[in-house]
């Protein structure tokens, strides 16, 4: 292990209490929240969540749940991004209980994930043709700019939160002092 350390770093003797620290480059950055995404019928979107078809309330089931990402398609053109709206997605058949609160996003031409909404519910419907085909519709509440600003403002007003992380394209953090947050 000492071969991996820089030459100027010395480890304390093993008989002493010590903690191994691991420093790595940032590998994960927050996804950009983009309420200005304009959705059209047929657009490909991805939605993340935790599929739990048994609908269990057992904490162990929740702890063991694996995150899942599914691909869907927008069923209708969404209104302009200035207005809140619920967008319907056609997703693969299945149970999507547990996806509520999960992010809905698009992947742009630069392979960047841009979050535009939050999953809020699902519905199983029987298709018109062929009549035996069942469709699963996932409902996503689209974030509008006004609501994103309002939510960010509410988070800044939380007196128990000494630091505030703004959602920015590059994932930069901004520290806001509690008394400064009240004045905004």
User: Could you state, in order of their start, the residue ranges of all structural domains in the chain?
Assistant: 32-143, 144-184
Does 130 sit behind a cis peptide bond, omega within 30 degrees of 0 on the bond before it?
yes
Q: pLDDT digit string (tens) for 41-97? A: 999 999 998 877 677 777 777 777 788 889 999 998 887 766 778 899 999 888 888
Whether 127 has a pLDDT exceeding 70, the answer reads no
**Is the pLDDT higher at 105 or at 110?**
105
Q: pLDDT digit string (tens) for 139-165? A: 898 887 777 777 666 666 555 543 444
HSE of 65, CA atoms in CB hemisphere, 13 A? 23
Would you state the structure tokens that stand for residue 37, as one six-digit string?
A: 């995404």
Q: Distance between CA atoms of 79 and 114, rounded to whole angstroms? A: 18
Q: Tell me which architecture the domain covering 32-143 has in CATH.
A: Beta Barrel (2.40)
**How distant, in Å, are the alpha carbons of 22, 69, 94, 99, 168 from that of 66?**
26, 10, 16, 12, 27
């Amino acid at each position: 292990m000492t071969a991996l350390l820089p030459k100027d770093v010395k480890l304390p003797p093993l008989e002493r209490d010590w903690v191994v620290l691991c420093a790595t480059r940032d590998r994960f950055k927050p996804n950009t929240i983009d309420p200005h995404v304009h959705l059209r019928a047929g657009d490909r979107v991805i939605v993340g969540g935790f599929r739990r078809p048994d609908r269990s309330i057992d904490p162990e089931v929740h702890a063991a749940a694996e995150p899942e990402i599914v691909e869907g398609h927008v069923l209708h053109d969404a209104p302009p991004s200035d207005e809140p709206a619920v967008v319907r997605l056609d997703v693969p058949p299945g149970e999507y209980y547990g996806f509520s609160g999960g992010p809905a996003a698009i992947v742009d031409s630069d392979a960047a994930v841009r979050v535009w909404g939050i999953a809020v519910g699902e519905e199983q419907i029987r298709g018109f043709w062929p009549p035996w085909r069942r469709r699963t519709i996932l409902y996503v509440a689209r974030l509008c700019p006004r609501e994103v600003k309002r939510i960010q403002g509410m988070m800044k007003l939380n007196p128990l939160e000494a630091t505030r992380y703004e959602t920015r394209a590059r994932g930069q953090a901004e520290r806001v002092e509690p008394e400064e947050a009240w004045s905004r």
